[in-house]
Amino acid sequence: MGSVEGSSAIARVLTEVGPRLKRLRTQRGVTLAALSEATGISKSTLSRLESGQRRPSLELLLPISQAHQVPLDELVGAPEVGDPRVRLTPKRVNGNTVLPLTRQPGPLQAFKMVIPATRSTPEPCTHEGYEWLYALSGRLRLILAGHDLVLGPGEAAEFDTGLPHWFGSTGDGPVEILSLFGRQGERMHVRAKPRTRSKHDH
């Protein structure tokens, strides 16, 4: 009888995995497409896993736990508060030092960046998204759709990255900034409602 009770207990745990996966994903604002991209698991498999049509396995749960940065036992057992610290791994991107401050896939991503003094030649670009910048130290030069601005420590800027933009150093020294980036349609909670432009605006 013990083995039957054991197997029924396992079955109960497994049936709770799907709803828990869906709850975790939706609480974090992660789409099936974003999770699929982060884990390499197809959207249809993830969907069937959440609805209970697909039996959970280690091959499926391990990549999902890594993508969400949660312990495996949080997906299959009683949730425990994991270590909230983010392990910062610096990356070099276009000569900048970039430290991702968010580790799970999601609509908004946060970065700390150190821009060297040598990155001072404007090369405006456009792409989908919305960005919020906060200058921590140094002087940040921001070129945005005809505006040429300099931000000092404690100053912030936000803009639609669909506009031609570039940011870097004024050339006087390195700049340290915080950056929040959201895909098109996402907006930072800190932003003020933009003033509607009129024909008289220059």
Here the CATH number for the domain that contains residue 32 is 1.10.260.40
Q: Are 137 and 161 in contact (CB under 8 A)?
A: no
Is 197 domain-assigned? no
At 70-115, the pLDDT tens digits run: 888 778 765 445 567 767 788 888 889 998 887 767 777 889 999 9
Put the strands of the sheet holding 175-182 in their side by side order.
91-93, 96-100, 108-115, 175-182, 130-137, 156-160
Question: Could you tell me the sign of the dihedral formed by the alpha carbons of 187, 188, 193, 195, in that order?
Answer: negative
Report the pLDDT averaged over residues 115-141. Answer: 93
The pLDDT, as a whole number, for residue 198 is 43
* Run of H or E including 21: helix 2-27
Q: Which of 56-65, 129-138, 167-176 has the lowest mean pLDDT?
A: 56-65
Spatial CA neighbour of 17 closest among 51, 44, 59: 51
CATH of the domain at 111: 2.60.120.10
Claim to verify: residue 53 and residue 112 sit in the same structural domain: no
Claim to verify: residue 102 and residue 177 sit in the same structural domain: yes
The residue behind tokens 């884990």 is: 39
Quickly state the pLDDT bin for 139 (edges 50, 70, 90).
Answer: very high
Quickly state the pLDDT bin for 28 (edges 50, 70, 90).
Answer: confident
Question: Could you tell me the sign of the dihedral formed by the alpha carbons of 182, 187, 191, 196, in that order?
Answer: positive
Claim to verify: residue 95 and residue 178 sit in the same structural domain: yes
**How many domains does the chain divide into?**
2
Report the pLDDT averaged over residues 168-190. Answer: 78
Please give the mean pLDDT across all residues of the chain: 82
What's the pTM? Answer: 0.54
Domain range spanning residue 41? 2-76
Q: Are 65 and 74 in contact (CB under 8 A)?
A: yes
Claim to verify: residue 99 and residue 69 sit in the same structural domain: no
Claim to verify: residue 96 and residue 65 sit in the same structural domain: no
At 38-81, the pLDDT tens digits run: 999 999 999 999 998 998 888 899 999 989 888 887 787 654 45
Q: Are 143 and 167 in contact (CB under 8 A)?
A: yes
Claim to verify: residue 70 and residue 95 sit in the same structural domain: no
